[in-house]
Amino acid sequence: MLKVSPSILSADFGNLKEEILSLEKGGADYIHIDVMDGLYVPNITFGPPVIKKIRNISHTPFDVHLMIHRPERYIKDFVDAGADIITIHEEATIHLHRTIEQIKSYGVKAGVALNPSTPLDNIDYVLDYIDMVLIMTVNPGFGGQKFINSMERKIKDLRNIIEDRNIDVLIEVDGGIKLENAGRMKELGVDIIVVGSGIFEAEDIAERTEKFKRL
């Protein structure tokens, strides 16, 4: 079943509590939280204190995507704030395997994100140690971008690698996912879709979340 991880980057922060509760009403599998530092990507969002506050109003697993430089400095902070999955970018840390092991040492799941131009070969030697690969289908940093079509081949290639090696690794995609292409992601072998404006632009967030779930 295709799982849905709505990205609160596209939410109305003035009504964040109500919108998160609407996501839960619609059956969201995860809450996707994009953390940006203005250095690794050209935008700044929020950090552990905000996530900790959100944790108080939601029991949905937190899918925390760290778009930050040297994430190993802050892993424990995000775990303490309530992260259930922590995903880091391959290029953002010098010792990728060590940082993956650091995440898992706290009992949370570890993911590695790949930018559109980052090849799958860059994570070949850590695939056996991670729980998820996040394929960025837009260039990270801003919401509302258009899906990069060439990423379909990357997704298919990753699915083939996972099946050939018989490993238990989830595929998540993030960027430009709408109702019209979400079904295609399922066909390609994606396990989790991150949806931002495709959900939060709707008048009824719960109903839109349910529509993605029915796919």
From CA 49, how far away is CA 184, in angstroms rounded? 36
Catalytic residue among 29, 34, 37, 131: 34
Of the listed 29, 37, 131, 174, which one is catalytic? 174
Find, among 205, 207, 211, the residue nearest to 12 by Cα: 205
One-letter amino acid for residue 142 of the chain: F
Whether 191 is catalytic is no
Query: Greatest CA separation found in the chain?
Result: 46
CA 208 – CA 211 distance, rounded (Å): 5
Q: Please, is 192 exposed, middle or buried when counting C-beta atoms within 10 Å of its C-beta (0-12, 13-18, 19+)?
A: buried
CA angle 47, 88, 40 (to 5 degrees): 70
Is 34 labeled as catalytic in the residue annotation? yes
At what angle are helices 205-214 and 179-188 packed, to 10 degrees?
30
Per-residue pLDDT of the chain (215 residues; tens, 9 = 90+): 899 999 999 999 899 999 999 999 999 999 999 999 999 988 899 899 999 999 999 999 999 999 999 999 999 999 999 999 999 999 999 999 999 999 999 999 999 999 999 999 999 999 999 999 999 999 876 666 789 999 999 999 999 999 999 999 999 999 999 999 999 999 999 999 999 999 999 999 999 999 999 88
Q: Which amino acid is at 153?
A: R
Supply the DSSP symbol for 129. G
Please provide the DSSP assignment of 87-124 as one string. Answer: EEEGGG-S-HHHHHHHHHHTT-EEEEEE-TTS-GGGGT
Distance CA 103, CA 143 (A): 26
Q: Do the beta carbons of residue 202 and residue 208 sit within 8 Å? A: yes
Q: Is 194 helix (H, G, I), strand (E, B) or coil?
A: strand
